[in-house]
Amino acid sequence: MRRIATLFSTTFLMGWALVTASEAAEPLKVGFMTVRSGALAAGGRQMEEGLQLCIDAHRGEMAGRKIQIITADTAGQPAVTKTKAQELIERDGAQVLIGPLAAFEALAIDDYIRQTKTPIISPSAAAEDLTQRKPNPWFVRAVGTSAQAHHPLGEYAAKELHYKRIAIVADDFAFGHEIAAGFQRTFEQNGGKVIQKLWSPLNAAEYGTYISQIDPNADAVFAAFAGGNGIKFLGEYKNYGMQKPILGAMTTVDEGILKRMGDEALGVISAGWYSAAIDTPANKKFVEAVRKSYGADPGYYTVGAYMACQFLNNALEQVKGDISDKAAFMKALRNVNIPESPYGQVKLDQYGQPILDIAIRKVERKDGKLQNTVIKTYPAVSQFWTYKPEEFLKSPVYSRDWTPVK
């Protein structure tokens, strides 16, 4: 009993000593929610790489304060994410959060973030309503919304590719629904028509049944997939004797999986707020750094986490490293303005969503490697595209049945 008591007091003293030491150095504690196990682990690893790169670029210090990253593995499961967020904030004393990876994870901690008033920067979750109909005052996003890049793609398909009829095949979950709906809206507004929408389950074992159903009258196919599904779909597509050109969502041919693809991906036209092939000095420097450290091109997750961390830096500089006034820090986060980044110039709208340059990209082979060559850029695209925010927000959030196939 006495031994236990001694043990307790020693631990307590050690803990106390640690606390005082850390107060003296005053590092800023950033809780980072990533995924290291399960189906989303690849994206999680790329996020960690992007974040590390940014921290290294700042030599672990922002606005004169040491940055201490506390990493938690959410396994990509919303229930675990909630627990990890609580651990990070209540046990580890995280003052800012970066993460989580998936939209349903972000939704799972939405209420908790509001209760604890913890600033959180999303490096990946794209669900529209997080910055639209249900904005969280403590939330900003460092990436585009689901439809943000696909509004321009719809217009491009109609106006410049002159497609009249398009069949959509998309993952049957919110991300796929939102991408498909955004694309359809602008495509049809410019005279095109979506003649078919096929929803394949997120964990569809194979795509043969869907490829066989594609309407022969379609001029092209818009394939909106997340995770590794793009690999499966494109791999099978040509083997079914299909010749129709393919348009892709940003994640269908994301650099994270493009490196695993072969000739089947050539010629796919997609849209995104990022491509590793964007030809600016800021991006070239970033891509070089990623290649040097990790031997691969950066994609969606790498650049998302990198930018989330740059957002943090930008906001910290505005408040000179002092985040004791959370409201002021939050205001700074929403006021982030980064003139040069891998994305190009980044500013936020009043909903906490970045206004981004959108690249129309085409998969080409260069130096023996596949890349998303930029063929056109739509500058400063808002999450509301060219619509008035008030009117945009009046219609329901994009879903499986909205916009409907007429």
Partner 1 sequence: MNFWVIQGLNGLAFGSLLFILASGFSLIFGLMRIVNLSHGAYFMLGAYVGLSAIDAGVSFWVAILIGGLAISVLGAIIERFILRRLSGQPLAQVLVTLGIAFIIADACVWIWTGDPRPVPMPRELAGAFRVQQLAFPIYRLFVIGVAFTLAATLWFLLERSRLGAMIRAGVDDLSMARAMGIRTSLLFPVVFCLGSALAGAGGVLAGPILSVYPGLDTDMLPLALVVVILGGIGSLLGAFIGSLIIGFIYSYGQALFPDLAYVILFLPMVLVLTLRPTGLFGRQAI
Instruction: List the structure tokens of 265.
Output: 């991906």
386 in contact with partner 1 (CB under 8 A): no
DSSP β-bridge partners for residue 96:
30
193 touches 166 (CB < 8 A): yes
Tell me how far, at minimum, the Cβ of 378 lies from partner 1, in Å.
Answer: 29
Structure tokens at 301: 């997750």
Q: Which of 80, 101, 221, 231 binds partner 1 (CB under 8 A)?
A: 231
Binding window for partner 1 (CB under 8 A); candidates: 151-159, 231-239, 337-345, 364-372: 231-239
User: According to the binding rule CB under 8 A, does residue 78 interact with partner 1?
Assistant: no
Q: Does 295 bind partner 1 (CB under 8 A)?
A: no
**Rounded CA gap, 301 and 143, in Å?**
9
Which residues between 169 and 198 bind partner 1 (CB under 8 A)?
198
Q: Considering only residues 103 through 162, tell me which ones interact with partner 1, judged by CB under 8 A.
A: none
Q: Residue 200 or residue 372: which is nearer to partner 1 going by CB?
A: 200
For residue 358, which phi and psi values (nearest 5 degrees)?
A: -105, 130
Candidates 16-24, 33-41, 55-63, 331-339 — which segment interacts with partner 1 by CB under 8 A? Answer: 33-41
Distances (CA, A) of 169 to 213, 236, 250: 10, 14, 14
* Least spacing, CB of residue 194 vs partner 1, in Å: 16
H/E/C letters for each residue in 309-367? HHHHHHHHHHCCCCCCCHHHHHHHHHCCEECCCCCCCEEECCCCCEEEEEEEEEEEEEC
Residues 146-176 as b/e (b if ≥16 CB within 10 A, e otherwise) read bbbbbbbbbbbbbeebebeebbbbbbebbbb
Residue 286 has a CB neighbour count (10 Å cut-off) of 26
- How many residues in the shown chain lie near partner 1 by CB under 8 A? 38
Q: Does 86 bind partner 1 (CB under 8 A)?
A: no
Q: Work out whether 396 is an interface residue with partner 1 (CB under 8 A).
A: no
Q: Which is nearer to partner 1, 305 or 333 (CB)?
A: 305
| Residues across the chain | 406
Q: Interface with partner 1 by CB under 8 A: which range of 60-68, 145-153, 254-262, 269-277?
A: 254-262
Nearest-approach distance from CB 94 to partner 1, in angstroms:
25
User: Interface with partner 1 by CB under 8 A: which range of 106-114, 120-128, 202-210, 348-356?
Assistant: 202-210
Spatial distance between the Cα atoms of 91 and 88, rounded to a whole number of angstroms: 6
Give the position of tokens 């938690």: 72
Q: Using CB under 8 A, which of the segments 53-61, 225-233, 266-274, 275-283 binds partner 1? A: 225-233
Beta strand pairing call for 346-348 and 337-338 = antiparallel
Question: Does the protein bind partner 1 through residue 228 (CB under 8 A)?
Answer: yes
**Burial (0-12, 13-18, 19+ Cβ within 10 Å), 269:** buried
Among 208, 267, 396, 404, binds partner 1 (CB under 8 A): 208
- Shortest approach of partner 1 to residue 236 CB, angstroms? 7
> Quick check: 293 binds partner 1 (CB under 8 A)?
no
Which of 10, 209, 293, 399 is the binder for partner 1 (CB under 8 A)?
A: 209
Pick the binder of partner 1 from 199, 387, 392, 402 (CB under 8 A): 199
Q: Which stretch binds partner 1 (CB under 8 A): 37-45, 108-116, 274-282, 390-398?
A: 37-45
Is residue 404 near partner 1 by the rule CB under 8 A?
A: no
User: Phi-psi region for residue 397, left (φ > 0), alpha (ψ -120 to 50) or beta?
Assistant: beta
Among 86, 203, 293, 337, binds partner 1 (CB under 8 A): 203
- Using CB under 8 A, which of 57, 70, 161, 261 touches partner 1? 261
- Which residue from 220, 226, 151 is spatially nearest to 182, judged by alpha carbons? 151
Tokens representing residue 208 in the block: 């043969």
Give 136 or 200: the residue with its C-beta nearer to partner 1.
200
Tokens 């040509």: give the residue.
238
Asked if residues 54 and 306 have their Cβ atoms less than 8 Å apart, the reply is yes
Q: Does 79 bind partner 1 (CB under 8 A)?
A: no
71 within 8 A of 49, measured Cβ to Cβ: no
8, burial (CB in 10 Å: exposed 0-12, middle 13-18, buried 19+) = exposed
Q: What are phi and psi of 66, to 5 degrees?
A: -70, 140
The CB-of-143 to partner 1 minimum distance in angstroms stands at 20
Task: Please give the residue ranges that form the binding site for partner 1 (CB under 8 A).
Answer: 36-45, 198-201, 203, 205-206, 208-210, 212-213, 227-228, 231-232, 235-236, 238-242, 256-257, 260-262
